[in-house]
Structure 1
Amino acid sequence: MALSDPRPAPGSPADPLDRVHELVTLYSDPHASVARLLCDGHPSDAVAYTVVEPDLSATVLTYGRLRTESERFAAALAGLGVGPGDRVATLMGKSVDYLVALLATWRLGAVTVPLFTAFAPPAIALRLLASDAKVVICDDTQRSKLDPGEDIPADAKWQVVVSGSAGRDGDLGFAELLAAHEPGYPAAALGSDAPLVHIFTSGTTGRPKGVVVPTAAIAGCRLYAEYGCGVREDDVFWNAADPGWAYGLYFGVIASLSLGVPGVLLHAGFSAELTWRVMDEFKVTNFTAAPTVYRSLRASGVPVPDGLVLRCASSAGEPLTPEVNAWAEEAFGIQVHDHYGQTEAGMLVNNHQLPALRRPVRPGSMGHPMPGWSLRVLHEDRDDIAPVGTVGRIAADLTASPLAWFHGYEGDPAKSAEKFSADGRWYYTGDVGRVDEEGYFHFSSRDDDVIIMAGYRIGPFEVESVLVTHPAVAECAVVAAPDEVRGEVLEAFVVLQDGAEASDRLATELQQLVKKRFAAHAYPRTVHFVDLLPKTPSGKIQRYVLRRQRQTDPKAHS
């Protein structure tokens, strides 16, 4: 951690907002330099990351090495004509080259465009063309996705740089560019409004939209690590999310680098056994991942190592269902803290890990608003604050949210206007939920997912949370189906655990479970047993796909 930026001991601020204003001031400097804030200001011998391979061999990357190599690669990118504001895309796994590419891009004042390595060419092309990328840096294993075809234009304007073995004719080699340039390239200092990231939403509710993240947003990234995840100077921090998406990039890379704590990157796909081995071998103390990871660990049956030193576990990306914590407390002795955020805002509501903000975890709740954000539940049809316990639209009061930075989608004024009230006070998250008498927020659904049955508004997540407590259920999704009498009724799509068998009896058990554990009127009228659920590449269930499939071919789900 940079000596010029001392951080108070956990829990020490008398008022958490004091820390908010301190960080907002730091990252709002009109002469702010991203490279200095995230790299050069840290001791050169401090560990930035340990990059772990599938065989548990590892490369320790210090801030000194990261600075030197990013200076070399910044010079190389500048030689390709990249300058401040230009877009540089990364189609890369979690590697040393990936971190060097990011820092080099920011050292130039250029903007990173993250591309998830599981993307197919159509998703890649959409993002490259919409961002007007000047350079694409890719792993050799990803190079074929950039070949001209139905989606990738033959006359693409971007230059391709390949990490690993040789690419196509006309490509440039990452290692060769690095070796051909000297360190010492100066760090751009473009201030807080300069763009840092050009990322695209997951497309959960429509076509992906471009979000440009400014340097000032680092304040929220860092505060989430401190308050939400409770990261300390002596932690080994592992955010297992993929940096091709917001949670992995904002909080697995930007937040970690802003703090200067040692981080872990696993250069491999997910496996339960490997996850436990990395936690054990590299003494991870603070871990965060999507709920899918925890559910997969739970379902795997792989024993938890005896020597874990894990003290904090967090989750974000989709709601955390209650059965995960019942397992976690028994398996490794701590609860997983659920957190809620968005690509457009960062993290908004957390079950905070910082001792000064920690409250008892309430099953099904995503916690309390993070200091620096003012969250409210608004009525369905007007911008008035709804009474406690009422399901309504979750919105941020921008007049009292100093961490807010999103002003609209790149090149899409119509969609941008839908996110804000006419007077500019409210940012609409597009999510529906309620707040209880103790200020805990409870997620219900996306706006498009709400089910209205006989006048009752039902959030599918609350029903899904009950269904997954049944030992036969691995995961599920609940959607609306049209009904002549009630307007809409619920239908459930259920993926079973290995060894469980679909039957009418099991369907009835699940219906009765919802009646008993949630509400008699809100049980699924039909239960469909399916092999898998449609998901975004980041693992979020796409309920709208199930609704669309049902509308297209109702008999397929009867």
Structure 2
Amino acid sequence: MTRPTAAAPAATAYTAHLDHFAREHLPPPGQWPQIRFDLPSLQYPARLNCVGALLDAAVADGGGGRVAIYADAEQWSYATLQRKVNQIAQVLRDELGLVPGNRVLLRGANNPMMAACLLAVLKSGCVAVPTMPLLRAKELAAIIGKARVDAVLCAAGLRAEIDALDAAPPTVWFNDAGADSLEARMAAHDGRFEALDTAADDVCLISFTSGTTGVPKGTMHFHRDVLAICDCFPRSTLESQADDVFIGTPPLAFTFGLGGLLLFPLRVGAAAVLLEKLTPETLLRAIARYRATICFTAPTFYRQMAPLAANYDLSSLRKSVSAGEALPLATRDSWQGATGLAMIDGIGATELLHIFISAAGAQIRRGATGKPIPGYQACILDADGKPVGPGVVGRLAVKGPTGCRYLDDARQNDYVLDGWNLTGDAYEMDADGYFFYRSRTDDMIISAGYNIAGPEVEEALLRHPAVAECGVIGRADEERGQVVEAHVVLKSGFDASEQQARALQEFVKQQIAPYKYPRSIKFQAALPRTETGKLQRFKLRAE
């Protein structure tokens, strides 16, 4: 276990951390993006604990009796959640001997105890390192080593990969009936714990990227960052309220899920539905059962739910949010046709914590992700880092109250340029300031001198009645430099054949410019995706 360093550097004298590892492994300030607090709602005090502001304030204001979390077999009020969080914080401090600034790795599916563990780590002044439930021991070992993890809180159902580690940090199991479980330890404590008086810029969260490129990075976020994402997208775009019920599929270990299914509801005194192992059918059933009003999930789920939606009462649902990967027009149209709901598309990044470009209601423009939400700025940069005007495809650059700070990683210099965060996405802006996704910057296919965006070809293929899902990449070719290659999963009842491949090629030629059609089509049983639903194109390229 990491113990306090002998003496804190003078620049960190104000911090509440006794273990200075996190601050000492931030990038040099000169490599940070510009951080802007342009809205009145983003003016935070110098001393701030985000859980004190999110949870304790709600109870203090008389909201203790409101439902905070719905789950399969139980529901927790705000007061119950606060008591559980306090008891876990007492275990961390009094039994595990953790000090502020120590890192705690968290493993669990979406359930009340996972939520309480996350909040307890932050409230105690420690640093949360959430991890995806499907990660294996090798991947966990890399994260543990990178973040110098001091302790682990892990759901008992996920213990196999922790047990497989050569040397695991001290671990306590939750969702467990054992005599030494977290629940048993919690029972010995009275549930009285004041939120640690942390600095607003004390690190509270190290989120690792989901690995679409195969090499995840640790992104570091402050207490004020957690509040900033709650005071931007949910306030201006979702217009969330205390009577909302949030539901969805993203894991709490993914910042899309952490915000949408825990932090955003807490900020307005609303409720969240936390369910494990959802399918399109069970998510639709849960929306109807819990009368959910706001849904967060990836385009793949919306595409699969659309043909089933008529079988469920979705009349409570007023907002549906899509993020995690590009939203195809075919998916937007099918969902709106099935439910009457205009999809709220959004782009976010683990590096910036949550969504920064989006649009809702009358502001939605067909085919566009949206505009920068209040609090953020965005522009398009050319290859030389110069801003370009409407109609030019270039690198998306963003700045606002959150920004990229990698944990001890040389790739910081690749992500930040002249104060802007470079998200790795190729976008185009129109004359009205709407941003249109074209591809990931490293996914642009150059074939015989033509620039071809893989997502545009995917969009065309998804309109064919035989295609369930697809992924498009560039494959090296001696004659053309690259050719467009489509990896296609067919719907039930359609056969993978040369005739089917030719039919798909001809269909694409009728949808978009013929030079963009996939010259190679490979039929797959499934596509490689991260646990958050993002397509792992690097695995397709490696085949």
TM-score by length of 2: 0.88
Structure 1 residues 264 and 19: CA distance shift in structure 2, 3 A? farther
Q: Does the CA contact (< 8 Å) of 1:246 and 1:343 recur in 2?
A: yes
What SS does the aligned partner of 1:346 have?
coil
What SS does the aligned partner of 2:211 have?
coil
Structure 1 residues 286 and 65: CA distance shift in structure 2, 3 A? same
Q: Quick one: higher RCO (CA 8 Å, sep 6+), 1 or 2?
A: 2
**Amino acid in the other structure paired with 2:363:** R
Give the Cα separation in 2 of the matches to 1:251 and 1:282: 16
1:426 maps to 420
Pick the aligned partner of 2:331 from 321, 324, 328: 324
Matched, 1:368 2:371: yes
Pick the aligned partner of 2:213 from 171, 191, 205: 205
**Amino acid in the other structure paired with 1:104:** A
Structure 1 residues 307 and 523: CA distance shift in structure 2, 3 A? closer
Q: Give structure 2 stretches of 5+ with no counterpart.
A: 1-35
**Amino acid in the other structure paired with 1:93:** A
RMSD of aligned alpha carbons: 2.1
Q: Does the CA contact (< 8 Å) of 1:221 and 1:251 recur in 2?
A: no
What SS does the aligned partner of 2:118 have?
helix
**Amino acid in the other structure paired with 1:416:** Q
1:45 maps to 64
Give the Cα separation in 1 of the matches to 2:313 and 2:102: 48
What SS does the aligned partner of 1:442 have?
strand
Give the Cα separation in 1 of the matches to 2:130 and 2:395: 30
Pick the aligned partner of 2:412 from 411, 416, 419: 416
What SS does the aligned partner of 1:462 have?
helix
Give the Cα separation in 2 of the matches to 1:81 and 1:314: 41
Give the Cα separation in 2 of the matches to 1:348 and 1:389: 23
Deviation at 1:101, TM superposition (A): 1.3
Deviation at 1:277, TM superposition (A): 1.7
What SS does the aligned partner of 1:278 have?
helix
Give the Cα separation in 2 of the matches to 1:240 and 1:229: 18
Structure 1 residues 452 and 332: CA distance shift in structure 2, 3 A? same
Pick the aligned partner of 1:296 from 288, 292, 304: 304
Pick the aligned partner of 2:436 from 429, 442, 453: 442
Deviation at 1:516, TM superposition (A): 2.2
Matched, 1:22 2:40: yes
Structure 1 residues 273 and 536: CA distance shift in structure 2, 3 A? closer
1:10 maps to none
Q: Does the CA contact (< 8 Å) of 1:304 and 1:331 recur in 2?
A: no
Give the Cα separation in 2 of the matches to 1:48 and 1:453: 55
Matched, 1:31 2:29: no
Matched, 1:164 2:175: yes
Deviation track 1:188-236 (CA, whole Å, cap 9, x = no partner) reads 1212101121110112124111111111212123321222333223221
Deviation at 1:361, TM superposition (A): 3.4
Give the Cα separation in 1 of the matches to 2:340 and 2:386: 42
**Amino acid in the other structure paired with 2:82:** R
2:22 maps to none
Q: Give structure 1 stretches of 5+ with no counterpart.
A: 1-17, 550-558
What SS does the aligned partner of 1:276 have?
helix
**Amino acid in the other structure paired with 1:235:** D
1:181 maps to 189
Q: Does the CA contact (< 8 Å) of 1:349 and 1:367 recur in 2?
A: no
Give the Cα separation in 2 of the matches to 1:181 and 1:190: 23
Deviation track 1:61-86 (CA, whole Å, cap 9, x = no partner) reads 12211222222221111021112111
What SS does the aligned partner of 1:41 have?
helix
Give the Cα separation in 2 of the matches to 1:395 and 1:220: 18
Give the Cα separation in 2 of the matches to 1:405 and 1:521: 38
Q: Does the CA contact (< 8 Å) of 1:337 and 1:350 recur in 2?
A: no
What is the percentage of aligned positions where both structures have the same residue? 31
Q: How many correspondences in the alignment? A: 503
Deviation at 1:480, TM superposition (A): 0.8
Pick the aligned partner of 2:391 from 379, 389, 392: 389
Q: Does the CA contact (< 8 Å) of 1:114 and 1:244 recur in 2?
A: yes
Give the Cα separation in 2 of the matches to 1:345 and 1:197: 12
**Amino acid in the other structure paired with 1:163:** F
Q: Does the CA contact (< 8 Å) of 1:230 and 1:312 recur in 2?
A: no
Deviation track 1:408-451 (CA, whole Å, cap 9, x = no partner) reads 31011x21111122xx3322111112112332212122222111
Q: Does the CA contact (< 8 Å) of 2:233 and 2:356 recur in 1?
A: no
Give the Cα separation in 1 of the matches to 2:229 and 2:193: 28
